[in-house]
């Protein structure tokens, strides 16, 4: 197997003539933490949606673990171990915190179409769910409804749910967006911990997070790759500075 877990070749997405992502060739090294940054409208989230198959690409190829996944369904991608989070916190608001995590765990049962069976059969997952919630510091909240959690805690819950699938690769869409200062610290620490034995690809605006966690950074601007490298290289790149500050300041 190659050193890259995820590779794209000439990935392009057009919306009625507007090219949101243009010819992006991305290589994510196995076990690394890779950040995708860029000014607003650079195509980061579109790129994410392409990788997780929530959008079909107009052109290009996506290879995950040596397997062409360009034409796969979003639900199959998850089963291959490539699991995403969302920009707006994606929890199941009216389920309890524990049930949120258990939904992910119960997928191990295969397709649960057993509508004749009692919910009690899911009890075997309770301990694992509690463990995952402890790991993200939500042990006091297990019986709460997910909707009752403050924003930062919801993101932690989302992360616990994602980790329940034990994915080989995590795609995090702005994991710290809209968070208060202390929550950012907590989530950053958490991502750092889970990234030790996984590949993480994240879109992130917070440069502290990016500089601390990411091994490699890809900068997107107007749908195209502008620069790539570690934080020190990328932050000195004149094109990157111009893209962020605009021509007037260049």
Partner 1 sequence: MATVTAGEIRAATHEGLPRQQVVAFVIMVGALVAAPFFFYPVFLMKVLCFALFACAFNLLIGYVGLLSFGHAAYFGMGSYVAAHAAKVWGLPTELAILAGTAVAGVLGVVFGWLAIKRQGIYFAMITLALAQMVFFFSLQAPFTGGEDGIQSVPRGHLFGVIDLRSDLAMYFFVLAIFLMGFLFIYRVIHSPFGQVLKAIRENEARATSLGYRPDHYKLTAFVLSATLAGLAGATKAIVFQLASLTDVHWSMSGEVVLMTLVGGLGTVFGPVVGALTIVTMQNYLASFGAWVTVIQGVIFIVCVMAFRRGVIGEIANVLKKPL
Residues that bind partner 1 (CB under 8 A): 52, 54, 73-76, 78-79, 83-86, 90-99, 102-104, 106-107, 109, 111-123, 126-127, 130, 133-134, 139-140, 142-143, 161, 165
Given the complex with partner 1, which of 71 and 79 has the nearer CB atom? 79
Tokens 């893209």 map to which residue?
243
Least CB distance from residue 153 to partner 1, whole Å?
A: 15
Given the complex with partner 1, which of 75 and 247 has the nearer CB atom? 75
Least CB distance from residue 95 to partner 1, whole Å?
A: 6
Tell me whether residue 205 is exposed, middle or buried, using C-beta atoms within 10 angstroms of its C-beta: 0 to 12, 13 to 18, 19 or more. middle
Least CB distance from residue 36 to partner 1, whole Å?
A: 17
Tokens 């899911």 map to which residue?
122
DSSP string, 54-88: SS--SEEEEEETTEE-TT--HHHHHHTTEEE--SS
Using CA atoms, how far residue 161 sits from 15, 78, 168, in Å, is 32, 13, 14
Least CB distance from residue 102 to partner 1, whole Å?
A: 7
Given the complex with partner 1, which of 22 and 174 has the nearer CB atom? 174
Cα gap 95→174, rounded to integer Å: 24
CA terminus-to-terminus distance, the chain: 43
Least CB distance from residue 200 to partner 1, whole Å?
A: 15
Given the complex with partner 1, which of 124 and 239 has the nearer CB atom? 124
């Amino acid at each position: 197997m190659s050193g890259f877990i995820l590779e794209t070749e000439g990935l392009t997405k057009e919306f009625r003539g507007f090219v949101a992502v243009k010819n992006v060739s991305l290589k994510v090294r196995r076990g690394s933490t890779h950040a995708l940054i860029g000014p607003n409208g650079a195509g980061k989230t579109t790129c994410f949606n392409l990788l997780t198959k929530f959008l079909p690409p107009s052109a290009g190829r996506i290879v995950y673990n040596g397997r062409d996944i360009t034409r796969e369904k979003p639900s199959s991608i998850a089963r291959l171990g490539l699991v995403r989070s969302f920009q707006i916190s994606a929890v199941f608001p009216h389920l309890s915190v524990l049930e949120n995590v258990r939904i992910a765990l119960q997928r191990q049962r295969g397709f649960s179409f057993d509508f004749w069976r009692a919910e009690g059969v899911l009890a075997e997952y309770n301990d694992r769910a509690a463990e995952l919630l402890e790991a993200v510091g939500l042990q006091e909240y297990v019986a709460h409804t997910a909707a009752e959690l403050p924003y930062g805690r919801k993101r932690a819950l989302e992360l616990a749910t994602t980790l329940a699938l034990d994915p080989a690769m995590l795609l995090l869409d702005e994991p710290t967006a809209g968070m208060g200062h202390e929550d950012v610290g907590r989530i950053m620490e958490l991502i750092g911990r889970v990234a030790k034995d996984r590949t993480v690809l994240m879109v992130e605006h917070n440069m502290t997070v990016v500089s601390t966690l990411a091994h490699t950074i890809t900068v997107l601007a107007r749908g195209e790759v502008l620069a790539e490298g570690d934080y020190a290289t990328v932050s000195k790149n004149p094109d990157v500075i111009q893209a962020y500050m605009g021509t007037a300041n260049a």
